Amino acid sequence: MTKSRLTRRGVLRTGAAMGGVLATPTLFTGAAWAQDSGFTNAPTGSTVTLGFNVPQTGPYADEGADELRAFELAVEHLNGEGDGGMLQTFSSDALEGGGILGKKVEYVTGDTQTKSDAARASARSMIEKDGAVMISGGSSSGVAVAVQGLCQEAGVIFMAGLTHSNDTTGKDKKANGFRHFFNAYMSAQAMAPVLEGLYGSDRKAYHLTADYTWGWTQQESIQAATEALGWETVNNVLTPLAATDFSSYIAPVLNSGADVLVLNHYGGNMVNSLTNAVQFGLKEATANGKDFQIVVPLYSELMARGAGENIAGIPGSQNWDWKIENQLGDRYKGTNAFVQSFGEKYGFPPSQAAHTCYAQTILYADAVQRAGSFNPCAVAEALEGYEFDGLGNGPTLYRASDHQCFKDVVVVRGKENPENEFDLVEIVEATPAEKVTYDPEHEMFAGGNLGECNPGA
């Protein structure tokens, strides 16, 4: 069916077309994303664009919505609108409410859908289309790791939102990525003494674990910490992140010989699994002659709200709590300033996800201001080894070797008789930062490499 007709005209035409195709690559010899300024998306006009990539759908949508509120508030404060929030208490005075380096802060938002693929696509469009010079937000470690990798390649700064996996600043750490939130290892270290005090050192634990990077490292950390107390680990069952009904996972727990159930779940997952566990009567059950107990290593007010009265008495850890300054004093200054401006704008207190995102935005803006440049390498240098205070967590260090913040960890319990729907947890203690600090080459964090900071030029 093919008729081969070689004509002079045809050969000429094909030759010209081929030449055109072959010449195309020469277009790309110039600087790539950088526009004459040495780094990706250098702001040229009177504004600078930040990209806020949060889950607006999926199991972590509540956290995402709260993060977005915090970002809006932070941008307001950076632009000198509102009451300034934590800028008043922040130990650095570089920011004066006139934007960042005199440029007004604007922002674009995206939906991560709590899926690595979707999160990266959304972050790419913010970087490529909207010219975002920094990406922040997110409520899943899987997404944080994926987006952090993208930001490293694209040459923009990634200020992680809520991500609690050890890997984010361990195995998967990147030079362009920074995490303010605490991690699974810290949770476990802070909780172990509390668990020993509450439940003794002779316990048998059954783990239900969300099947992704955060769940794995959370389970690994809490298992190591509790086994150091003398606890025994009966079983560890991995559950899919997308699961909404955990009955089939809870049913075998009672007959397993365990007397503690550890729910390494977060967000909607935890709300559902805890509700299932309570429905199965685990809270009233006894095993091995002891009262059955439930532990939720990573806690949040939003989850407590979702789980309702089921949360009563259940211990867990948090990065921050909106009541901390009132209850534990001036060390945690900034908290009240933030809670007040957030409450005035939205009518309820912020969650820890909101707090960490707000703090990250302020820290980024401050680092740019101190560095005098939006260049990611200059910003990274300004953040590395930076010690600050007044952002609600007490004195904090941004460690240079892994870009992880070190600060006090809050251990909390569900209140037995909450007064209102926002006051659902009580603070048990704040574990000082020294007790949760670890070596960057600790076995749970080893194997990673920050690499070189990438300005994208």
Partner 1 sequence: MLGLNTKDTWLLVIVALMTLFAPFLLNPFPANSSLAQFNAGYPDLMQRFVIFGIFAIGFNILFGLTGYLSFGHAAFLGVGSYAAVWMFKLLGYNVVPAIILSVIVGAVFALLIGFISLRRSGIYFSILTLAFAQMSFALAYSVLTPITNGETGLQVYTSDPQYFQRSGAPDIPHFFGLEMRATETLRMGGWSFDINAGYYLCAAVLLVAFYMAIRLFRSPFGMMLRAVKSNQQRLNYTGLNARPYTLAAFVISGMYAGLAGGLMASMDPLAGAERMQWTASGEVVLMTILGGAGTLIGPVLGAGFIKYFENIFSKINDGVLHGWFGFLPDGIENVLVTVVHPFVGKGWHLTLGLLFMLVVIFLPGGLVEGGQRIGKYVFRRRGRKAGGAEAEAARKQPAE
Q: What is the CA radius of gyration of the chain?
A: 25
For residues 138-197, which are near partner 1 according to CB under 8 A?
A: 141-142, 145-146, 149-150, 153-154, 167, 172
19 binds partner 1 (CB under 8 A): no
CB of 23 to partner 1, least distance (A): 12
Q: How far apart are CA 301 and CA 79, in angstroms?
A: 29
Binding residue (CB under 8 A) for partner 1 from 257, 281, 329, 447: 447
CB of 257 to partner 1, least distance (A): 25
Binding residue (CB under 8 A) for partner 1 from 69, 77, 115, 403: 115
449 binds partner 1 (CB under 8 A): yes
Both tokens assigned to 113: 């859908």
CB of 125 to partner 1, least distance (A): 5
Stretch that binds partner 1, among 75-83, 110-118, 287-295, 361-369 (CB under 8 A): 110-118
Binding residue (CB under 8 A) for partner 1 from 43, 84, 85, 110: 110
For residues 199-228, which are near partner 1 according to CB under 8 A?
A: 211-213
3 binds partner 1 (CB under 8 A): yes
288 binds partner 1 (CB under 8 A): no
Question: Of 184 and 359, which CB lies nearer to partner 1 in the complex structure?
Answer: 184
Number of residues that bind partner 1 (CB under 8 A): 48
116 binds partner 1 (CB under 8 A): yes
33 binds partner 1 (CB under 8 A): yes
For residues 262-281, which are near partner 1 according to CB under 8 A?
A: none
32 binds partner 1 (CB under 8 A): yes
CB of 244 to partner 1, least distance (A): 16
440 binds partner 1 (CB under 8 A): no
Binding residue (CB under 8 A) for partner 1 from 37, 101, 104, 124: 124
For residues 233-262, which are near partner 1 according to CB under 8 A?
A: 238, 240-241
State phi, psi for 286 to the nearest 5 degrees.
Answer: -125, 150
Both tokens assigned to 114: 């709590």
Instruction: Give the residues lining the site for partner 1 (CB under 8 A).
Output: 1-3, 10, 21, 24-25, 27-28, 30, 32-33, 35, 56-57, 108-111, 115-118, 120-121, 124-125, 128-129, 141-142, 145-146, 149-150, 153-154, 167, 172, 211-213, 238, 240-241, 447, 449, 451
